[in-house]
């Protein structure tokens, strides 16, 4: 079971409290997690990554195990701790503006 933390605005949108728990088939990567997340909550399509290109939106970042993974390949395997559900995969709204 993969644990995913999404930003407060998106939790409100999909009406969940706390973490989202997902079953992910195959290798656990950014792409496979986001595919599973969007399959569970179709309204999230376009809010984390672009509809067409599936690229991460500019002001969204991905973290896990205290590392910023935003610039990693979406198909790179995520740390074992994420794959085993020990640590969450975190979707974070970048701090911008002032």
Partner 1 sequence: MSSVRVLVGTRKGAFVLTADGKRQRWDISGPHFTGWEIYHVKGSPVDQNRLYASQNTGWFGQLIQRSDDGGKTWEPVGNEFMYEGTPGPHKWYDGTPHPWEFKRVWHLEPSLTDLDTVYAGVEDAALFRSTDGGKSWQELSALRNHSTAPNWQPGAGGMCLHTIIQDPSNPGRIFIAISAAGAFRSDDAGNTWRAINQGLRSEFIPDPNAEVGHCVHRIAMHPSRPNVLFMQKHWDVMRSDNAGDLWHEVSGNLPTDFGFPIDVHAHEPDTIYVVPIKSDSEHIPFDAKLRVYRSRTGGNEWEALTKGLPQENCYVNVLRDAMAVDSLDSCGVYFGTTGGQVYASADAGDNWAPIVRDLPAVLSVEVQTLP
Checking DSSP bridges between strand 2-5 and strand 89-93, what pairing results, if any? parallel
2, 3, 4, 10: residue in contact with partner 1 (rule CB under 8 A): 10
Bridging pattern class, strands 60-64 and 89-93? antiparallel
If binding is defined by CB under 8 A, does position 43 make contact with partner 1?
yes
Token pair for 71: 């610039």
| Binds partner 1 by CB under 8 A, chosen from 74, 79, 85, 93 | 93
Which residue in the set 21, 46, 68, 86 belongs to the binding site for partner 1 (CB under 8 A)? 46
Tokens of 87: 């640590």
Q: How many angstroms separate the Cα of 26 from the Cα of each of 6, 23, 32, 75?
A: 22, 10, 8, 12
**At its nearest, how many Å lie between partner 1 and the CB of residue 12?**
8
- Give the footprint of partner 1 on residues 56-75 (CB under 8 A): 57, 59-60
E strand map for 1-71: 2-5, 20-22, 60-64, 67-68
Q: Is 52 in the site for partner 1 (CB under 8 A)?
A: yes
Contact footprint for partner 1 (CB under 8 A): 7, 9-10, 12-13, 43, 45-48, 51-52, 57, 59-60, 93-94, 96
């Amino acid at each position: 079971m993969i644990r995913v933390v999404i930003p407060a605005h998106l939790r409100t949108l999909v009406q969940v409290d706390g973490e989202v728990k997902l079953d992910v088939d195959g290798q656990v990567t950014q792409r496979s997690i986001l595919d599973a997340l969007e399959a569970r909550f179709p309204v999230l399509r376009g809010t984390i990554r672009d509809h067409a290109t599936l690229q991460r939106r500019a002001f969204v970042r991905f973290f896990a195990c205290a590392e910023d993974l935003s610039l990693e390949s979406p198909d790179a395997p995520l740390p074992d701790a994420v794959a085993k559900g020990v640590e969450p995969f975190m979707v974070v709204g970048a701090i911008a503006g002032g």
